[in-house]
Amino acid sequence: MKRFITTLALVCIVGSSSLCFGWGRDAHAAIAYIAERHLTPTAKANIEKCIDGRSIVYYASWLDNHRAENKSWGKLAHVAHYDIATCEPIGKPYKYMKSTINKLKKYRELPDSTVKVSIYHLVHSLGDYHCPGHVAYYDCSGEKPKRLITSSYDIYLKPKKTRMSYHKLWDSGIVQMGQPGWGYMDWGHALDSSVSQEYIDSVTAGSLKDWMKDIATRTQQEYKIYERAPYKDSLCADDELSVVDADMMNDYYEIAAKQILIGGLRMAKIINDIFGE
Amino acid sequence: MKKFITIIIALLTIQSASAWSRAIHAGIAAIADANLTEQTKEAISQALDGRNIVYSAQWMYDMEKTKGYEQTKNWRSVAVAKNNKPLNAKKSLNHKEDIVRRAQGLEALAAAIRAIEAGGLTKEQLADNIRYIVTIVGDLHCPTHYIYPEALELRKMHYFYNDKKQSYTGYWEHSSIAGTFNWKTNEFVHQLNRKTPEQIAAITKGSITNWVTKNAAEYRNIYTLLESGKKFSQKGLRVWQNSIYPISTEQAAIAGYRIAAILNGLFDSNVANVKIK
């Protein structure tokens, strides 16, 4: 009987979540919403004119939802790559984002469809880059960069007594488990009600490259996310996997919250710079 | 044990047999609330003991098992003829199919409006009729709440995902928005309450019967969006959902504006009544 109820409960949970995509959606919306809260009235009006009068939040996960429809959208990578020695961004994700920002600087001269997809890329992928699970490190000392660390491996999540991908934990687990009932407005209100201008200036100073280097440096050195839950072969048994326990999860909530806020503030800076005139 | 299993299964399926989800009804009511005039808000607040219409967005469903309110379970849908005009009450009440006989939503809505217009209601009766309007107009903007007696087989349309059979009507009622957005009540307002006064005027133009007839014609198209029995991969499901959420979100917005138009007509002496026919 107990087993039956458990099975039924699992069916319920899996059934109700099978059509959802988790953090992706909640954290992306929260980042875009925080960004929207910091837009100048001119920037907000100008960018919304480009996206049929909608909020940028509406499109925060557009790239995740629609990338299967068009090869070029699928190529707009979501995981950022870094040289492990310097923590500087390398490869296509950085290149594409830089190109998107440069493209948008001329938004008045571009076809509407190009502007739209560029905005969708900006409001989605800049959020992704602020997720520690979307940071991959490469050894760049040889001829070709060699992938060293990514979050694509399983860990054992002790509070839920289950194994799951470390990437998925950062993508969909932390935000949902941290504040399961929250919508993006709750996140915006909780994280962004009393942020000082000094803090905003400090996290938005520098260039895209500086920001990405900052994310990679903090993920590796300050947050130490890969040291806390080191890679173990996914073929190993549950009890051999790296364990993420309740204390670590509490730390992770903090990291995620901090990254959501910073991501939103930086997104606002880019949009204000481009669309504020 | 048998009884227990039956209850659990009933609980699992009850939502898919009902209507727009609770979240969507609340979101629609919140859009409506945001478009009420001060005079209307004041009158409604008095009738609802200081609460707004969002609180009662799905009250009609909550009451259907309460003595005296049993008839409300037949007020969720509307039956229309081949020319998309609503079937008259006599014709629909005498129909051989139960689902058509139970499609009394438009009649109930008209009765609620006429009762308020006639006046002389007790405070409780007034509150009930306001709540009926909010829920029924919401439901009359859910495409699967239109019954086409000559094509009842459409209601059996289904698809498979993860080898599980899923009802198409159930998809519309719950996942057509939640499959893409995790919006909470006020987030519906933030995302969808963005029409210009001219757009709102166009949406609320005409009589309620016109709205229903136009909806009935438009909603027939949703049955062309799925090949019944289709087996979806995760990617295929996502792409398919992308063809649906723009329709469902638009209908939620339209429902909100139309509820506001009806209520403003009833409670604000400066606003013209929305005609039933």
pLDDT of residue B76: 93
> pLDDT per residue over A128-163, tens digit each?
999 999 999 999 999 999 999 999 999 999 999 999
CB contact under 8 A, B242 and A186: no
Q: Is the pLDDT of residue B18 over 70?
A: no
> pLDDT per residue over A226-266, tens digit each?
999 999 988 899 999 999 999 999 999 999 999 999 999 99
> pLDDT per residue over A66-75, tens digit each?
988 988 887 7
Contacts of B207 (CB under 8 A, 6+ apart): B274, B275, B276, B277
Distance CA A186, CA B273 (A): 37
Nearest to A18 among B12, B162, B182 (CB): B162
| Per-residue confidence band for A177, with pLDDT thresholds at 50, 70 and 90 | confident
Nearest to A12 among B12, B186, B191 (CB): B12
Say yes or no: B8 contacts chain A, CB-CB below 8 A.
Answer: yes
What is the number of residues in chain A?
277
Q: Is the pLDDT of residue B119 over 70?
A: yes
Please give the average per-residue pLDDT across A202-210, as a whole number. 97
Tell me what percent of the residues of chain A surpass a pLDDT of 90: 81
For the four alpha carbons of B7, B10, B12 and B14, in that order, the dihedral sign comes to negative
Distance CA A9, CA B155 (A): 27
HEC letters along B218-273: HHHHHHHCCCCCEEECHHHHHHHHHCCHHHHHHHHHHHHHHHHHHHHHHHCCCCCC
Nearest to A185 among B180, B186, B238 (CB): B186
Quote the minimal CA–CA distance from A183 to chain B in Å.
6
> pLDDT per residue over A40-58, tens digit each?
999 999 999 999 999 999 9
Please give the average per-residue pLDDT across A184-192, as a whole number. 97
Using a CB-CB cut-off of 8 Å, the residues of chain B touching A58 are: 191
> pLDDT per residue over B192-235, tens digit each?
999 999 999 999 999 999 999 999 999 999 999 999 999 999 99
pLDDT of residue A23: 53
Q: Across the beta sheet with A146-149, what order do the strands follow?
A: A89-90, A80-83, A135-139, A146-149
Distance CA B57, CA A163 (A): 40
pLDDT of residue B91: 83
Give kind and range of the element (H or E) at residue A165: strand A162-165
CB A27 within 8 A of CB A127: yes
Using a CB-CB cut-off of 8 Å, the residues of chain B touching A186 are: 184
Say yes or no: B194 contacts chain A, CB-CB below 8 A.
Answer: yes
Least confident of A111-115, B8-12, B142-146, B174-178: B8-12
pLDDT of residue A75: 77
The burial class, CB within 10 Å (0-12 / 13-18 / 19+), for B179 is buried
Nearest partner of B184 among A202, A252, A30, judged by Cα: A30
Q: Is the pLDDT of residue B8 over 60?
A: no
Residue-averaged pLDDT of chain A: 90
pLDDT of residue A127: 95
Q: Is the pLDDT of residue B35 over 50?
A: yes
> pLDDT per residue over B49-108, tens digit each?
999 999 999 999 999 999 999 999 999 999 999 999 999 888 888 899 999 999 999 999
Give kind and range of the element (H or E) at residue B177: helix B176-178
pTM of the model: 0.90
CB A265 within 8 A of CB A204: yes
- Pull the structure tokens for residue A124: 């989605």
Say yes or no: B178 contacts chain A, CB-CB below 8 A.
Answer: yes
Quote the minimal CA–CA distance from A150 to chain B in Å.
24
According to DSSP, residue A241 is labeled S
CB contact under 8 A, A65 and B181: no
> pLDDT per residue over A103-116, tens digit each?
999 999 999 999 99
> pLDDT per residue over B171-193, tens digit each?
999 899 999 999 999 999 999 99
- In angstroms, the Cα distances linking B2 to A2, A8, A38, B11, B14 are 14, 14, 57, 14, 18
Helix ranges, A18-164 (H): 23-37, 41-50, 62-66, 71-74, 91-104, 112-129
Please give the average per-residue pLDDT across A97-107, as a whole number. 97
Please give the average per-residue pLDDT across A79-99, as a whole number. 95
pLDDT of residue A1: 43
Distance CA A226, CA A220 (A): 7
Give kind and range of the element (H or E) at residue A146: strand A146-149
Distance CA B206, CA B202 (A): 9
- In angstroms, the Cα distances linking B259 to A54, B44, B133, B138 are 22, 13, 7, 8
Distance CA A137, CA A89 (A): 9
CB A144 within 8 A of CB A155: no
CB contact under 8 A, B187 and A185: yes
User: Which residue ranges form the domains of chain A, and what is each CATH number?
Assistant: 24-153+183-229+252-275 (1.10.575.10)
Nearest partner of B90 among B104, B76, B77, B70, judged by Cα: B104
Residue A101 Rama label (left phi>0; alpha psi -120 to 50; beta): alpha
- Pull the structure tokens for residue B156: 């059996």
